[in-house]
Amino acid sequence: FLGLLVVSLTGRIVGTDRHAILLPAAALTAIIVLVGGQTILQHALGGEGSLGIVVEFVGGIVFLAILFAGGRQ
């Protein structure tokens, strides 16, 4: 679900469909999400839990939101 999260987030931030801009921006967003998430998990929560579980949980929620929003259009 990380790819789904990153592409959805980057598309909303960048606001373009040009792949020359979207692909590097998505790679940078993925790095920021992973490093930032791991840092928050290690320091704020004392290292308890797994970043993969958090990413999968949030990704599942975003997937369902995108799925239901696409049905209304």
Share of the chain above pLDDT 70, in %: 96
Q: Where are the beta strands (DSSP E) in 1-73?
A: none
Model confidence pLDDT, tens digit, residues 55-72: 888 888 888 888 888 766
By CB neighbour count within 10 A (0-12 exposed, 13-18 middle, 19+ buried), where does 11 fall? Answer: middle
Domain that holds residue 10: 2-72
Total structural domains in the chain?
A: 1
The predicted structure's pLDDT at residue 37: 85
Indicate the pTM of the whole model. Answer: 0.73
